[in-house]
A and B are shown apart, each in its own frame.
Chain A
Amino acid sequence: MAVNTMSSSTPTSQSGAMNPTPTSPATAAELVTANAFAVKDLSIWYGEKQAIKNISIDIPVMAITAIIGPSGCGKSTFIRCLNRMHELVPRTRVEGKILFHGEDLYAAGSDPAMVRRRVGMVFQKSNPFPTMSIEENVLVGLRLNGVRNRQVLNERLEKSLRRAALWDEVKNDLKKPGMSISGGQQQRLCIARALAVEPEVLLMDEPCSALDPIATAKIEELIRELRDQYTIVIVTHNMQQASRVSDRTAFFYVGELIEFGDTAQLFNRPRERQTEDYITGRFG
């Protein structure tokens, strides 16, 4: 195994970035058509503690992949690697390779800011910028990227809010503070904010864990609708949610990938005993 090592403490650090290893033409073509991410032998450490242990997994494009597992199994760490968000944690070390449409995410010269633009993220707790209006929250990413054209901004604002199924509820209140709407609406606002920069992938880290059942249902419906346009990876503690929304499910346990497969198959006929024991509530 050709192991590349990267240590970093800042999101923009390029020091020690992985050396790109050329992939065979056949493999690259296959990745473009079938998989958004190809993760090879990925290991992650926080200081001395290994959070992810030698995981290899292909994440399909234009599909919803759920990651389940007990607390501390490494599922959040894993998805944060997919847009280099984990680099915000000091003393993080990564070994292995993550190919995004065939390109090495950690290659020398790869810009973490650009990675995060292509691979957006929504977090557990809705986090609209408290001093910004609904409109400003949605457009902040674009403005940071230098977009100033009012027509473009207006179009992107409406498009993003519509895609996030929030437009009809806030179209007359765009100047109101982002914090003035309900928790479920705030989470959809965060999704709209992520969509505004037109990413290819949406990572969701327990996006419904702080929401009531109705707000959760709206987010789940939205996730299903977004599936046609985005590759989605969702971390969830809620196994019913994983079985409802996802096409494929990965089960992580103590930093290892135990099983990855079709969601219906995994929840009806898991191949591994550890998966069966976890999803049926025999340990966790």
Chain B
Amino acid sequence: MVYSRHILREFDTALDALRSDALMMASLTDRNLQNAMTCLLDRVPELCAVTVADEKEVDALEKKVDSNGVEILLRFQPVASDLRQVVSTMKLGSNLERVADQAVKIARRSRKLTMEPELDEAIALGPLFIEAISLFRDSIRSFADGDVTLARSLHERDRELDQMNHDIADDLTAKMAEQPDRIPDYLNLLFIARHLERVGDHAKNIGEDAVYTAQAEDIRHPNNLLEVG
């Protein structure tokens, strides 16, 4: 739904700034994930330092989004779609910060791997990277555009990503038995796959917030029928 501007223009300005900061976070986080991927697949250890530095900027933006979000709640006391927009944008900030954290963890493990002889299985993580980044980008697109159809599709794609992670974990576990001397490296790959799976979880969360923002519908935990309080 496209909304007209508020009578109070200052409110529009504050909302636009909040959204802009969150989308800047998303852009930096996306770059972090790409750098982490390049660090591993192209064996470029220098990109690890870049990823860590960018993550600090993401952290600072998260604090800014939280602070400005609280200020909007205090000053303008938004309701309905405005309230959902502010709350969801603050939650988006938290999810992005965690994705950026995952990118740093991936980059650090990738740097360790670049110091050892290359493993074929590292390349095998390529499709997992591509799917995780694609999922992440679509979650941001769904949030930015209010694309509810795209947002709702992320649940299923996250499950597919989980399955890819399971399959890779099985392969890596088998390789550890075959090459016990490379167990530390295989463990690093195992953890990288796990971090990518977590990126998918955060992307799914962002999609859920996109649906809540646009339609005020809570689609989290669809199989949990327990109602509290």
Chain A residues packing against B (C-beta within 8 Å): 239-240, 243, 267-270, 273, 276-277, 279-284
Contact B80 A284 (CB under 8 A): no
Contact B79 A239 (CB under 8 A): yes
Contact B216 A269 (CB under 8 A): yes
The distance from the CB of A54 to the nearest CB of chain B, in whole angstroms, is: 26
Q: How far is the CA of A281 from the CA of B80 in the complex (A)?
A: 11
Inter-chain pairs besides A268-B80, A280-B79, 20 sampled, C-beta below 8 Å: A267-B83, A268-B79, A268-B84, A268-B216, A269-B80, A270-B80, A276-B3, A276-B80, A277-B4, A279-B79, A279-B80, A280-B3, A280-B78, A280-B82, A282-B4, A282-B5, A282-B6, A282-B7, A283-B7, A284-B7
The distance from the CB of A171 to the nearest CB of chain B, in whole angstroms, is: 37
Chain B residues packing against A (C-beta within 8 Å): 1, 3-8, 11, 77-84, 216
- The one of B3, B77, B84, B216 in contact with A282, judged by C-beta atoms closer than 8 angstroms, is B3
Q: How far is the CA of A273 from the CA of B77 in the complex (A)?
A: 19
Cβ of B8: which chain A residues have Cβ within 8 Å of it? 281
Cβ of A283: which chain B residues have Cβ within 8 Å of it? 7
The distance from the CB of A250 to the nearest CB of chain B, in whole angstroms, is: 16
Cβ of B80: which chain A residues have Cβ within 8 Å of it? 267-270, 276, 279-280
How many inter-chain contacts with C-beta < 8 Å in the A-B complex? 40
Contact A281 B11 (CB under 8 A): yes
Cβ of B1: which chain A residues have Cβ within 8 Å of it? 273
Cβ of A269: which chain B residues have Cβ within 8 Å of it? 80, 216
The distance from the CB of A251 to the nearest CB of chain B, in whole angstroms, is: 11
Q: How far is the CA of A281 from the CA of B14 in the complex (A)?
A: 14
The distance from the CB of A159 to the nearest CB of chain B, in whole angstroms, is: 35
Cβ of B216: which chain A residues have Cβ within 8 Å of it? 268-269
Q: List 21 A-B contacts (CB under 8 A).
A: A239-B79, A243-B79, A267-B79, A267-B80, A268-B79, A268-B83, A269-B216, A276-B3, A276-B81, A277-B4, A279-B79, A279-B80, A280-B6, A280-B80, A281-B6, A281-B8, A282-B3, A282-B5, A282-B7, A283-B7, A284-B7
Choose among A268, A279, A282, A283 the residue with the greatest number of B CB atoms under 10 Å from its CB. A282
The distance from the CB of A122 to the nearest CB of chain B, in whole angstroms, is: 25
Q: How far is the CA of A273 from the CA of B4 in the complex (A)?
A: 11
The distance from the CB of B30 to the nearest CB of chain A, in whole angstroms, is: 31
Cβ of B11: which chain A residues have Cβ within 8 Å of it? 281
Q: How far is the CA of A239 from the CA of B82 in the complex (A)?
A: 14
The distance from the CB of A225 to the nearest CB of chain B, in whole angstroms, is: 22
Q: How far is the CA of A59 from the CA of B81 in the complex (A)?
A: 27
Q: How far is the CA of A282 from the CA of B11 in the complex (A)?
A: 11
Cβ of A270: which chain B residues have Cβ within 8 Å of it? 80
Q: How far is the CA of A284 from the CA of B4 in the complex (A)?
A: 13
Kindly report which residue of chain B lies nearest to residue A239, judged by CB atoms. Answer: B79
The distance from the CB of A51 to the nearest CB of chain B, in whole angstroms, is: 24
